[in-house]
Amino acid sequence: MRLHELTPAPNPRRVRVFLAEKGVQIPSVQVDVFKGENRTPEFLKKNPSGKIPVLELDDGTCIAESIAICRYVEALNPEPNLFGRNPVETAQIEMRNRQLEFELMGPVSVAWVNGPVIAQMAPGMFKQIPDALAAAEANIARFYQRIDNELASREFMGGDRFSVADITALCVTDFATERVGVARDPGLANLARWHAAVSARPSAKA
Amino acid sequence: MRLHELTPAPNPRRVRVFLAEKGVQIPSVQVDVFKGENRTPEFLKKNPSGKIPVLELDDGTCIAESIAICRYVEALNPEPNLFGRNPVETAQIEMRNRQLEFELMGPVSVAWVNGPVIAQMAPGMFKQIPDALAAAEANIARFYQRIDNELASREFMGGDRFSVADITALCVTDFATERVGVARDPGLANLARWHAAVSARPSAKA
């Protein structure tokens, strides 16, 4: 088994943090998307989306999409449970993980492809739309405010214990802050408390 | 239990088709998003995202996000299985469902909010970005071409049998064609074959 990934990218980090929480080690292969290594015919056979990460099994079966990979890893390594232990908890973790993906990771991706960092790092890689950047920044700020409100009444993103939803939130907030240049308002105290707690876990270094 | 939804919207339809495949009936409540019924303080307590559908359980617990709702329904009603029967199949269905969501439903949503139909139906509801509409239309066309290629070697979206990934694909392609006004290229024969097959299932009328 091997993991095709790129260390600085946020989605591969989700899988690495998940593996660290599980205590599972999988050898990794770096795929340099800036050199187009994700667009070769060979890579597109592994994942027609041309995206990383991709988990390649020993029989050649490939699983793309971070959450699909994590769910596969959880099926083989059930503990510690990170996707939920009963129908309601599982549904709530899924709901909140998806809201983080669509309503935070989505706008952060839009801010990334339309922002100044990628424009300098890889000129012409994306046709940039300034209005889309401004809309994304407003959406990110609104989501942070909302999640800060929600974290007043629960300790973690998915509920009262650490779950895959916290891994999504950690990787996307760190990517937004450190790479995209979209900061969190430090006055959002619940969000700051949550971020400090999950950043202190050993898995956060993955 | 009751389902908060809006009949013409694509995500509530995903849940209705899923319920029809399961043979499960849940009473529904219409939420008129054009009248802002999804933005009332009462509704935002059910789902802070302000999105439909939301499944409200008898104890008041609310589950938002179509796929979280479907997964909850599958946990209570395991057959017919629509999410996968073993770790690899489950991962592949999840992967393909997610690719349909991010790479087809995503651009279709962008085309919808930036397109002429919503501009006429609800003037000013969204700040429209013409460049975003054009980029979305190109992404949709590219994805249809790619999925047509993939459907040359498997019968359904998720693999060799009908799954939740087909429900996502059916609802988003029909929404794109019928409501957004973005047509499929009729020359994509595998996609046309797949669409005819899933549209002929009784659940497609849900």
pLDDT value of residue B74: 98
The C-alpha of A127 sits at a distance from chain B's nearest C-alpha, in angstroms, of 9
* A77 token code pair: 């390594």
Measured between alpha carbons, how far is B21 from A95 in angstroms, rounded to an integer?
A: 22
> Please, what is the Cα angle at A30 between A27 and A36, to 5 degrees?
150
Measured between alpha carbons, how far is B13 from B194 in angstroms, rounded to an integer?
A: 18
Smallest Cβ distance to A129: which of B99, B132, B149?
A: B132
Residue of chain B minimizing CA distance to A148: B48
Contact of A100 with chain B, judged by CB distance below 8 Å, is answered with: no
Inter-residue contact B133 to B141 (CB < 8 Å): no
Is pLDDT above 90 for B127?
no
Contact of B135 with chain A, judged by CB distance below 8 Å, is answered with: yes
Q: Tell me if A49 and B103 make a contact (CB, 8 A cut-off).
A: yes
Contact of A31 with chain B, judged by CB distance below 8 Å, is answered with: no
> Please, what is the Cα angle at B102 between A98 and B137, to 5 degrees?
145
Q: Tell me if A90 and B76 make a contact (CB, 8 A cut-off).
A: no
Which of A14, A51, A94, A160 is the best substitution to test chain B (most B C-beta atoms within 10 A)? A94
Residue of chain A minimizing CA distance to B145: A48
pLDDT value of residue A132: 87
Smallest Cβ distance to A71: which of B91, B129, B131?
A: B91
The mean per-residue pLDDT over the stretch B8-14 comes to 95
Contact of B98 with chain A, judged by CB distance below 8 Å, is answered with: yes
Contact of B131 with chain A, judged by CB distance below 8 Å, is answered with: yes
Neighbours of A82 (CB within 10 A): 23
**Backbone phi and psi for residue A2, each to the nearest 5 degrees, phi listed first:** -145, 155
Taking the alpha carbons at both ends of chain A, their separation in whole angstroms is: 18
Cβ within 8 Å of A, B 160-199: none
Measured between alpha carbons, how far is A33 from A51 in angstroms, rounded to an integer?
A: 9
Is pLDDT above 90 for B104?
yes
Measured between alpha carbons, how far is B47 from B60 in angstroms, rounded to an integer?
A: 12
Cα–Cα separations (whole angstroms), residue A25 to A2, A165, A171, A180, B149: 10, 21, 19, 29, 34
Measured between alpha carbons, how far is A136 from B11 in angstroms, rounded to an integer?
A: 22
The C-alpha of A203 sits at a distance from chain B's nearest C-alpha, in angstroms, of 23
- pLDDT > 70: what percent of chain B? 100
Measured between alpha carbons, how far is A8 from A30 in angstroms, rounded to an integer?
A: 10
Contact of B1 with chain A, judged by CB distance below 8 Å, is answered with: no
Measured between alpha carbons, how far is A59 from B140 in angstroms, rounded to an integer?
A: 32
Contact of B44 with chain A, judged by CB distance below 8 Å, is answered with: no
**ipTM tops the 0.85 cut:** yes
pLDDT value of residue A49: 96
Task: Map chain A to HEC letters.
Answer: CEEEECCCCHHHHHHHHHHHHHCCCCCEEECCHHHCCCCCHHHHHHCCCCCCCEEECCCCCEEECHHHHHHHHHHHCCCCCCCCCCHHHHHHHHHHHHHHHHHHHHHHHHHHHCCHHHHHHCCCCCCCCHHHHHHHHHHHHHHHHHHHHHCCCCCCCCCCCCCHHHHHHHHHHHHHHHHHCCCCCCCCHHHHHHHHHHHCCHHHHC
Is pLDDT above 90 for B46?
yes
pLDDT value of residue A125: 85
Residues B53-71: pLDDT tens digits?
999 999 999 999 999 999 9
* B151 token code pair: 């459907």
Torsion of CA A163, A103, A182, A112, to 10 degrees: 110
Residues of B in contact with A88 (CB under 8 A): 57, 61, 63, 72
* A125 token code pair: 């890689």
User: In chain A, which stretches have pLDDT less than 70?
Assistant: none
> Please, what is the Cα angle at A5 between A91 and A26, to 5 degrees?
80
Inter-residue contact A189 to A148 (CB < 8 Å): yes
Measured between alpha carbons, how far is B15 from B12 in angstroms, rounded to an integer?
A: 5
Q: Tell me if A72 and B57 make a contact (CB, 8 A cut-off).
A: no
Q: Tell me if A132 and B127 make a contact (CB, 8 A cut-off).
A: no
Residue of chain A minimizing CA distance to B100: A49
Torsion of CA A31, A35, A40, A45, to 10 degrees: 30
The mean per-residue pLDDT over the stretch B134-146 comes to 96
Contact of A130 with chain B, judged by CB distance below 8 Å, is answered with: no
Maximum Cα–Cα distance across chain A: 50
Residues of A in contact with B131 (CB under 8 A): 127, 129, 131-132
pLDDT value of residue B129: 87
Lookup result for tokens 């399961």: B22
Contact of A60 with chain B, judged by CB distance below 8 Å, is answered with: no
Measured between alpha carbons, how far is B102 from B97 in angstroms, rounded to an integer?
A: 9
Strand order in the sheet with A2-5: A28-30, A2-5, A54-56, A62-64
pLDDT value of residue A124: 87
Residues B170-204: pLDDT tens digits?
999 999 999 999 999 999 999 999 999 999 999 99
Which of A11, A55, A65 is the best substitution to test chain B (most B C-beta atoms within 10 A)? A65
